[in-house]
């Protein structure tokens, strides 16, 4: 019998697949760590594609004869459809099975990667990237949902630590990986290998996922709130579209879409409340924000943190490549200390989050603020020729701090979420992070160019201004973390009934997944 079939037969409760509704004790799936490794590799690959293509835009523009505004859609189009798919895909995974959605998304991602690599024109490439982003959006919420489904207690913290490290590394090393691939695949069509490299990795991951991923995990009823999906998609598109068009003047031309998007999202929230009142199945349950402890503030913290965390890499790329004449690979290597610090700290944080909770996030954000502030000061004081080496210690400090932010925040945000809603909750959290990333990738390079023009091409000052915005985002996240830490301490002082580290809380019972699951009261 294949390993997954045997595990599914012996350990049905590990995946929450109890059709009869009978409550059973959770027992760990023997294949859970192997399954996690597959989902993390796929998650790394899909998140890496957000930034890896940025270093190839000049080559793409030359080879395909495209304008700068058109070729920018190769990056922004992927990010746009990625963000739009997250919440609906999370709900579909909850309703129809996470394994099924994961395999469909992975197959689509591989096919679209091959299509992008073979693209004969920029229009074909953009279409392939839009479809690839949708496929990646189907994958992302299943990653965090599988962790919710397969792990409990301290193991869940360690699993989220690895997931947080994956998010941090994929964001930070995108320019490095892109520069390395372009260096190895020299020539006019070298950029195509940025997409082709996904194909063999994706095929192997698909075969392993067939063997290792649990077959259960459906939330029960297979109904999808179509009206909610349309409202959320339209609202998110209205907010994100001006941001992804920022480099071609989208903010000045399309600013009115922000108001339209806010109105549509307000209607969406009201509609979802109505669906809940009728005992329906919303695409995103509002009670995740209003009644699930830690979810709302954790999503807000992730949003403001990703404003600076995502946008700063474009500022560094502009500073080093345009200002100092670095190659894409040299530019990526210059920011490697942040990636190394973040990856190491995220794994450690996953082991400590059950014991220290929000204190880790507060400590990490303090490190980010100090590290990025020191980086800005160094850029202003040292000669530009020495900047790459001089900022390494400060970036390492910021990276270590960043590693104590992402994975603990994911754990603290999702720890009280019922497993049956893990997909939509994870999709909502990652959508919030995508919103923050979209704001950052539009605002920080825009500010960089404004300061550059105002100072007569003073690149260190322009880079320091971008870093300043990142520091402000980290300070806003720090304020939210302190608020949540105080709430956590009040709950702990109030007694075990409200403890956050594993104890029972009001409104919980043993659900069909065999662990504590919220009972939402209408």
pLDDT tens per residue across span 428-464: 887 788 778 777 877 787 788 888 888 888 999 999 9
Task: Report the C-alpha gap between 101 and 138 in whole angstroms.
Answer: 7
Is pLDDT of 185 > 80?
no
> Do residues 236 and 86 touch, judged by C-beta distance below 8 A?
no
Beta carbons within 8 Å of 4's beta carbon, 6+ residues apart: 31, 210, 211, 212, 213, 214, 215
- Which residues share a beta bridge with 516? 510
Model pLDDT, residue 153: 74
Strands (E) across 290-436 are located at none
Is pLDDT at 209 greater than 90 in this prediction? yes
Pairwise CA distance, residues 306 & 236, whole Å: 17
Pick the CATH number of 30-224+281-513 from 3.30.420.40, 1.20.1250.20, 3.40.50.300, 3.50.50.60: 1.20.1250.20
| Residue of 90 and 109 predicted with greater confidence | 109
* Residue 164: predicted pLDDT: 75
- Tell me the pLDDT tens digit for each residue of 314-348: 788 788 888 888 877 787 788 888 888 887 888 78
- Average pLDDT over all residues of the chain: 79
* Beta strand 516-518 pairing with 508-510: antiparallel
Sign of CA dihedral 157, 176, 48, 406: positive
Closest CA to 172 of 336, 56, 303, 350: 336
> Has residue 384 got a pLDDT over 80?
yes
Q: How confident is the model at residue 20 (pLDDT cuts 50, 70, 90)?
A: very low
Find which of 127-136, 418-427, 481-490 is predicted with most confidence, using mean pLDDT: 127-136
How large is the average pLDDT for residues 54-68?
74
Place of tokens 């992804």: 244
Please, is 201 exposed, middle or buried when counting C-beta atoms within 10 Å of its C-beta (0-12, 13-18, 19+)? middle
| Pairwise pLDDT comparison (284 vs 199), residue with the higher score | 199
pTM for the whole thing?
0.75
Residue 401: band (very low, low, confident or very high) from pLDDT cuts 50, 70, 90: very high
Q: Measure CA 408 to chain center.
A: 14
Q: Which two tokens stand for residue 115?
A: 């299509």
| pLDDT at residue 95 greater than cutoff 80 | no
- How large is the C-alpha radius of gyration of the chain? 22
State residue 5's pLDDT score: 56
């Amino acid at each position: 019998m294949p390993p997954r079939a045997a595990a599914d037969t012996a350990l049905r409760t590990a995946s929450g697949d109890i059709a009869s509704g009978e409550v059973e004790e959770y027992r760990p799936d023997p294949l859970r760590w192997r399954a996690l490794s597959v989902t993390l590799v796929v998650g790394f690959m899909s998140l890496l594609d957000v930034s890896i293509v940025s270093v190839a835009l000049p080559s793409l523009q030359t080879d395909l004869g495209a304008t700068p505004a058109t070729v920018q859609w190769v990056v922004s189009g992927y990010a746009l459809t990625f963000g739009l798919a997250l919440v609906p895909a999370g709900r579909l995974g909850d309703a129809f099975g996470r394994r099924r959605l994961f395999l469909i998304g992975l197959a689509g991602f591989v096919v679209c990667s091959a299509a992008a690599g073979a693209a004969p024109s920029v229009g074909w490439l953009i279409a392939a990237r839009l479809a690839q982003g949708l496929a990646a959006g189907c994958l992302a919420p299943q990653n965090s949902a599988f962790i919710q489904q397969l792990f409990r207690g301290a193991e869940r913290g360690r699993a989220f630590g690895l997931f947080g490290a994956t998010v941090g590394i994929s964001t930070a090393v995108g320019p490095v990986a892109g520069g390395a691939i372009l260096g190895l695949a020299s020539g006019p069509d070298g950029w195509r290998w940025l997409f082709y490299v996904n194909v063999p990795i994706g095929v192997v991951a698909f075969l392993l996922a067939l063997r290792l991923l649990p077959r259960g995990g459906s939330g029960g009823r297979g109904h999808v709130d179509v009206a909610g999906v349309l409202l959320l998609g339209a609202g998110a598109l209205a907010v994100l579209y001006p941001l992804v068009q920022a480099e071609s003047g989208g903010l000045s031309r399309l600013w009115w879409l922000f108001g339209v998007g806010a109105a549509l999202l307000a209607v969406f929230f009201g509609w979802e409340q109505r669906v809940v009142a009728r005992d329906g199945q919303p695409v995103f349950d509002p009670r995740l924000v209003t009644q699930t402890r830690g979810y709302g503030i954790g999503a807000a913290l992730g949003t403001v943190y990703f404003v600076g965390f995502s946008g700063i890499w474009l500022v560094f790329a502009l500073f080093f490549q345009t200002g100092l004449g670095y190659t894409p690979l040299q530019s990526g290597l210059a920011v490697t200390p942040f990636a190394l610090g973040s990856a190491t700290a995220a794994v450690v944080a996953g082991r400590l989050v059950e014991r220290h909770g929000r204190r880790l996030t507060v400590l990490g954000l303090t490190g980010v603020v100090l590290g990025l502030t020191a980086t800005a000061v160094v850029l202003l004081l040292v000669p530009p020729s020495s900047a790459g080496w001089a900022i390494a210690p400060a970036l390492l400090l910021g990276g270590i701090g960043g590693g104590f932010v992402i994975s603990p925040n994911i754990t603290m945000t999702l720890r009280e979420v019922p497993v049956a809603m893990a997909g939509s909750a994870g999709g909502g959290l990652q959508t919030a992070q995508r919103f923050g990333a979209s704001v950052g990738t539009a605002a920080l390079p825009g500010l960089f160019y404004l300061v550059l023009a105002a100072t007569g091409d003073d690149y260190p000052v322009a880079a320091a201004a971008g870093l300043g915005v990142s520091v402000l985002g980290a300070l806003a996240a720090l304020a939210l973390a302190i608020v949540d830490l105080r709430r956590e301490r009040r709950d702990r002082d109030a007694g075990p009934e409200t403890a956050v580290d594993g104890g029972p809380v009001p409104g919980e019972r043993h659900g069909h997944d065999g662990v504590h699951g919220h009972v939402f009261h209408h």
